Structure 1
C-alpha cells in the first residue's frame, strides 16, 4: 500500500498517483490560473491559520506539532504564526508590491489611462532546504501572495510538516482557490525525473542551498525561466578603533556569534578591524576569546546540535592549519580546551569562511581597502554588522554596500530582521511576479479608474461575526492598539454627540485611494480640472483633510482654501487662480455662490461641483446650471465618521 506523503491540490496522494499527476502538471496549472485569486483570500486564510498556530491549545496547533522534526522546539509554530498574521503579510505586500491588491489593474498615474498591475509569473517551483521547518511553507505563501500556482519539493528526510501546514491553510479557504494552487511533494534529489517534470513547465524556480544544490536544479530550468537563488551567504562584523575597545560591543558581538551557533547566513564568520596593525588584531582576538569563552554552552536548541563528522573534521582541520601558520607569524589561535569555540587571528585580509560552531576569524581591514578586498566575494556577502560612531557607521555602511553586502545592522542585531525586509538584496514577491500594463484610449476610459471593474466584481471572503451598531463601532476606538490608532477624526455632531473615528495610516491611505478612484468615475479630470477644496477644516474634522489627500493622490491642481466666513475673499481666490471645480458641502457652496453671485457669474469659469454630506435638490441643481453655468454636479462620496 502506497504511503500518502504528497499533498496535491487538496488531497494526500501516494507515489504512483503523484507521478501520474506530475506528467499532467501543465494542464493542471492552466486550469488553476484560469480562476482568479484575490489577495484578500490569501490574507484571510493565513490570518486564520496564524491565530491557530499562536494558540497552543488549538486543535490545528496540536495536529501540526505532531509533524515537527525531532528536537524542534514547538515554539517554532508560534513564530510561523506571527509571520502569517494579517498585519505582517499586509506590511510585506505594501512594501514589496506597493499595496494590498497588487493584482488589480489600476492607473499608475491617475492623469493617464495606462493601467498597471503585478501579475503572477504562473507556476513557481520551490526546492526547499532540509531541516528548516519554516522556510518551505513561507515560500509557498509568498508564491500565493503573488497569485501563483506553487509546486514544492521537500527533502526525503523531512517530516510531513509542510504538507499538513498547507492542507490546514487550504482548508481555511472555502472557495478552494488556495488548494488549487498548492502541490507539495517529498522525494530525494536522486529522483531526477520528478525534478525535471517539476521544473519543465515552471515560470520561476526558487532554490535554497549551496552552489552544488543550485547547479543540480539549474540543469532542469528551461530557457526563459526565472531562477531565484536563495544560496548560502557569508556575513561579517566591522569594528572601528572606538568600538573594538568597548566591552559592550564585544558582548554584543559574542551574542551574534552564539545565537543559532552561526548556522544563520547573517551570523558573523569574520570580524574585521579598521586597522593595519597586526598587534592590534592579535590583542583584540585574545580579548574577544575571553568574552566568547564566558558564554554558556548551547542547550536545547535544535540548530545547535553537535557538529556531524564532516563538520567536526572541518573544525579540526581549520584550527590545525591556523596553528601551523602561527610559526610563520601569520596567525594566532585562541580556543577552548574542549573545542567548543575558537578565535583565529589572521594577518591576511581576504574573506575566509568559518567552520561555524562558534569559530571566528579576526582580520585587519582598513576602510580604504574594504571594497577592493571584499568585492571579489560580492556574490556571497550578506550582512555587515558595523560598530563605530554615527559618522563612521554612515560612511562604512555605504562602503560595505558598495562592496557587495546587502544589509547592514548594528553589532548585536545581525540576526534580527523586520517585516518586509528584502532578502539577499531582492524582494521575493517581485521575483515571483511580472509587472504588466494596459494602454487604453483616453476617450473611452477617462472615467475608468480600475480596468478590472469592467470585467469582474471583486469576490471577497464573507465577513465573520455579528452586524455592529453605532455604539459597537465607536467603542473599540477607545481601546485600539497603538499601531491601529494613528489618525483621529471627529464628527460634526449633526446626528448627536460628536463621534470619534480612528484609523491607521495604512487604512487611511487605502480609503483615500478608493475615494480617488470613485472621483475619477464621477467625472473628475486630474489633468484639466483646477479644484478649490472648500470642505470644512479644523477641530479634528476630516473632510477637508481627506479630500486634500484624495487630490494629492490624483495629482490634481488644488486650491486648499477650506470653508470660511469671508465669502468675498474666497470668491476672489477662485477668480484669481482660475478655479473651475468646487469641492464642498452643499449648504456652504450654496451660501458662497449666492453671496458672491455677481462676481462669480461675471467670472463665468465654474464648470463642476463635487459635493459631500447632504444633497443638492433637483431645484438647487437647476439653479446651479442656469444661474452659474455649472455643467457637472456630482456626489463626491458619502463618509460617516459615526460609523468609522
Structure 2
C-alpha cells in the first residue's frame, strides 16, 4: 500500500493538531477549546482494528528501505544524530514496535483480547457485559532524551481509544509529530487524526501546560521527581497520574556466576549497551558475599572484561560517527535514563570523553573523585580507563548507589539474607535485576528480589531486552489508560453476545483488490509458512475432494473459537442451563469435535464430549444417563441416531435443542424432530470452513440458511457467479472472504465454494451484523446431458411431491449408451422408486426433456439403506453428489 503524504510543515509550524501542522499562535487559540474537542472526538467510537490497521501499514512502510515514509522521517532523526546506521536502526525498531503481531500480543496480555472495547460477556452464564473503555483525554508529557517514547506512548493511548495530547521538549526534533502524522495518514477513516494532538514547547510555558492538563482524565508523565511533581500540581481532581519515573537497575551474582567468564562478558555487554542510558541498564553489581576482599578482587577481574567490551563498542562507533543520540528503545520501559545532577566539572587523573556535556562530565568526575578519596579509608577501590571511557567503582558498603553512567559500574557486597532489608527502602526506584547463578539460585533470588521491590528479573546479558506486552514498571500501561466498565442486564439478553451489535454493525475495512484465492492457493501457502505460525494442524472433512490441510496459531484459534461461542449464544444456547452433548466427528486431524469442545469450554458450559460413534445404542444410552438436553453434530449423523434409536429417544423425550454444522436438515426432517421427538430448537451451530474457521452464525430469529456474518473476523464480498465483479443488491453470487485475524497465512479474497445473497435490513433480533442466505455450494450445481441441475431442486421435489424425510444422494456415471444419473433415497422413507422417478422427471422439466425426449441421459432411482449412502471419512458428511464419470472414463 502506498501511503499518502501527511500535511506539509514549515519552520514555524512546530505542532501537529488533528491532521495538520500549526504554529504557536494557532495552537494557543485551539488549546482554549480543548474540552470541546475532546467531547466531540470521544462521541465517535474508535475500533481497535482501525488503530491496528494503521500501525501495521506504517510499520510496513518503515521496514521498506526505499519507502517515502522513511525518506520523510529521516531528517527528523538526522537532526539528532549524524549516524546513518543508527537512524536506520531506530526506524527499524519503530517498525517492529508498530507491527500488528506485536500490538495484538500486547492487547491480549494487557486487555485480554484484540477487541477490548466491545461489551461482551466475560462469563457466558451471566447476562453481564464488560469492556475496556477509554479514560477520555490522555495527556502525555514525554521525556526529552528518548524521542521514540513519545509517539509510542500515543499509540498506547490510541489502542485504548483515548484522545491524546502530547507534549515534547523544545529541545527535541519533530520526530514524534511527523511520525504521528504518518500514522494518521495511514488511516483512511481519519479517526486517528481526530484523536491526536502533538505539541512541542518548553516546560516553562506553564499556561500551555495548564490548558493541556485542566480537562485531562489521565496524565502520563515521563521523567524524574520534579517532572512528576509538576504534573501533579496541574492535574485536576479525579485525574489519574501515571508516573513513568526514573528507575535504577542492577545485577546480582552468586559466587559460581561471578567466577564464570561468560557471565562477566554478558554483564559487560549490558553495561555498554546504550551507554547505560536506559532505566534497565545496570548501575550496580551486587555480589552474594560480605567479604570486602572478594568485592575488590571481582572489580580487578571484571575491569579488563569491561575494557574489552568498551573497545568493541567504540570501534563500531568510530566506523560510523555519531553525535551520541541513543537508539530507539525496544520497549517503553527501557526509555528514560536516571537523572544526572549538574555540577562544576572537576579534573582528576582519567580523561573524560569530549562527547559528554558539562553536566555529565561533572557527575562522572565528582563520583570518581570521591571514590578515590575513600580508597584511603579502605572503603572503595577505583579501576578506570586512562581515556575515561569506562570505570569500575568497588565499594564495601551495600547501600544502593546511582552510577554516573557512560560505562561506570559500582560493585558492592550484599549477602542474600540482607537483600530485602537493604533494597526495600529504595523500592520505588527499583526496576530490573539480572540474576546470575544456578537454576535453584535464580528461582530463590527472583522471589526475594521481587519482594524487595524489583519489577523485572532477567538473565545477565538480557537486561535491556524486552518482549511484546511486557509491563511498564510493574503495571500494564493499557489498563492504566482505560476504565473497566460493565452493563448488567436481565434474561431478555440471554441470546445477546455483544451489546455493541445492537447499536451498529462492526466497521470493516474495504476488501483487498488482488487476485482471488482458491483452495490450491491456500495449500501452496503452507509450504512457506513459518513454524511460529503453525501451531494447530487440521484437515478438512474431504466433502468436496481430497482432505486439505489448514494451519492456525493458538492465538488465532482462540480468537475464532470465542467468536463462534458468541454465535452459539445468539443461536439460543444457554450455558447456564443447557447440558450439551458434543456429537461431532473427531480423529484423523478433523477439527469438528475439537472446535466445539473449545467453543463450549469458552462458554463455561456443561458438556458431555461423546463424539460421533457407530454404536448408536451406546450413544443414546449416554445421552439419557447424563441427562443431555442439547446435542451438537452433523445432520447426517444426528438423523441416523434419531432413527436407529427412535424408541429410546422418544421415551426419553429430553432432547430440547439441536445445533448442527456442515450440512442442513431438510424441512421434513425438522418436522419429524419437532413432532416425533419433541425437539424445540433446531439451528445452525456455526457456519464456517476448515480453512477460514467460523464465518457466520444463526440467531433466534434466523430461518432456513440465513446467517449473520462474523464481521469481527472477516470481510465478505459477494461476486457474480461467472464474472469477478460484485453482484447487484439482492442477487446471489460467490461468497469471497478475507480473514483479518490470521497471523501466518494471508487468506485474502478466498472463494470458499459457497453461493449466497445478502439479506437486507436489520434482523428482528436487533443485531446490526449483516446477514446472508446460503444457497448451496458451487458443487451443488452439476452438469449432465448438456443441462445444469441444482441438487437442492431434487431435495425440494422429494419433500414436496413424495413427503420424503430422509437423505438424498445423486450419483453421476457413464454407461455405454451415455451419461447416467442415479438418485439414491433411503428405503425407510421411500418404497416406490418408479413413483419417485416420475416425480423428478415431472417436477424438473429439463430433466424430463433430457431423459424422455432428447435421450441425452438415463435416470434411475435407487432405494437403499441409509448406511449405504456414501459419506466422507473425516466428518461423516453425506456426499450429496458422487461423480464417477472421471473414474470410469
Give the TM-score range, shorter chain.
over 0.9
State the 1:345 CA deviation.
Answer: 1.0
Q: Secondary structure at the match of 1:635?
A: strand
| Contact 1:474–1:643 under 8 Å retained in 2 | no
1:123 to 137, 143, 168: 137
Instruction: Give the number of aligned pairs.
Output: 643
State the 1:643 CA deviation.
Answer: 5.3
1:39 matched residue in structure 2? 48
Q: Secondary structure at the match of 1:483?
A: helix
2:602 to 553, 569, 574: 553
1:475 matched residue in structure 2? 524
2:731 matched residue in structure 1? none
**Does residue 67 of the first structure (1) align with residue 70 of the second (2)?**
no
| Contact 1:519–1:636 under 8 Å retained in 2 | yes
State the 1:642 CA deviation.
Answer: 5.2
State the 1:133 CA deviation.
Answer: 2.2
| Contact 1:2–1:15 under 8 Å retained in 2 | no
State the 1:119 CA deviation.
Answer: 0.3
1:137 matched residue in structure 2? 151
| Contact 1:121–1:204 under 8 Å retained in 2 | yes
2:712 matched residue in structure 1? none
State the 1:222 CA deviation.
Answer: 1.1
2:809 matched residue in structure 1? none
**Does residue 452 of the first structure (1) align with residue 500 of the second (2)?**
yes
Q: Report Cα offsets for 1:184-234 as digits up to 9, x if no partner.
A: 011111100000100110100111111112112221111110111111110
2:106 to 92, 103, 109: 92
Shifted more, 452-461 versus 20-29: the winner is 452-461
| Structural mapping, 1:171-210, within 5 Å | 171-210=185-224
Structure 1 CA distance for aligned equivalents of residues 19 and 420 of structure 2: 51
1:218 to 223, 228, 232: 232
Q: Report Cα offsets for 1:147-201 as digits up to 9, x if no partner.
A: 0000001111111111111111111111110000000011111100000100110
| Structural mapping, 1:574-589, within 5 Å | 574-589=623-638
State the 1:294 CA deviation.
Answer: 2.1
1:260 matched residue in structure 2? 274
Q: Secondary structure at the match of 1:67?
A: helix
1:105 matched residue in structure 2? 119
**Does residue 519 of the first structure (1) align with residue 568 of the second (2)?**
yes
Q: Secondary structure at the match of 2:144?
A: coil
| Contact 1:474–1:499 under 8 Å retained in 2 | yes
2:645 matched residue in structure 1? 596
Shifted more, 387-396 versus 161-170: the winner is 161-170
Judging changes above 3 Å, is the alpha-carbon distance between structure 1 residues 643 and 507 closer, same or farther for their aligned structure 2 residues?
closer
2:410 matched residue in structure 1? 361
2:469 matched residue in structure 1? 420
1:492 matched residue in structure 2? 541
2:432 matched residue in structure 1? 383
Structure 2 CA distance for aligned equivalents of residues 212 and 120 of structure 1: 28
Structure 2 CA distance for aligned equivalents of residues 173 and 2 of structure 1: 26
Shifted more, 63-72 versus 109-118: the winner is 63-72
1:566 matched residue in structure 2? 615
State the 1:460 CA deviation.
Answer: 2.1
**Does residue 10 of the first structure (1) align with residue 16 of the second (2)?**
no
Q: Report Cα offsets for 1:284-338 as digits up to 9, x if no partner.
A: 1111112112221532453478321111111111111111111111111111122
Structure 2 CA distance for aligned equivalents of residues 598 and 587 of structure 1: 19
More helix by share: 1
1:328 matched residue in structure 2? 377
State the 1:2 CA deviation.
Answer: 8.1
Q: Report Cα offsets for 1:74-103 as digits up to 9, x if no partner.
A: 220111011101111111111110000000
Q: Secondary structure at the match of 1:569?
A: helix
Q: Secondary structure at the match of 2:565?
A: helix
| Contact 2:80–2:173 under 8 Å retained in 1 | no
Moved over 3 A (4+): none
Q: Name stretches of at least 5 consecutive residues in structure 1 with no aligned partner.
A: none
State the 1:57 CA deviation.
Answer: 0.3
State the 1:49 CA deviation.
Answer: 0.3
2:488 matched residue in structure 1? 439
RMSD across aligned positions (CA): 1.3
Q: Secondary structure at the match of 1:74?
A: helix
When the two structures are superposed, what TM-score results if normalisation uses the length of structure 1?
0.98
State the 1:463 CA deviation.
Answer: 2.7
| Contact 1:474–1:642 under 8 Å retained in 2 | no
Q: Secondary structure at the match of 1:437?
A: strand
1:242 matched residue in structure 2? 256
| Contact 2:534–2:552 under 8 Å retained in 1 | yes
Structure 1 CA distance for aligned equivalents of residues 176 and 692 of structure 2: 42
Structure 2 CA distance for aligned equivalents of residues 609 and 459 of structure 1: 32
Structure 1 CA distance for aligned equivalents of residues 468 and 236 of structure 2: 33
2:32 matched residue in structure 1? 23
Structure 1 CA distance for aligned equivalents of residues 528 and 678 of structure 2: 49
Structure 1 CA distance for aligned equivalents of residues 656 and 495 of structure 2: 17
| Contact 1:260–1:303 under 8 Å retained in 2 | no
Q: Secondary structure at the match of 2:428?
A: coil
| Contact 1:292–1:341 under 8 Å retained in 2 | yes
**Does residue 157 of the first structure (1) align with residue 171 of the second (2)?**
yes
State the 1:469 CA deviation.
Answer: 2.9
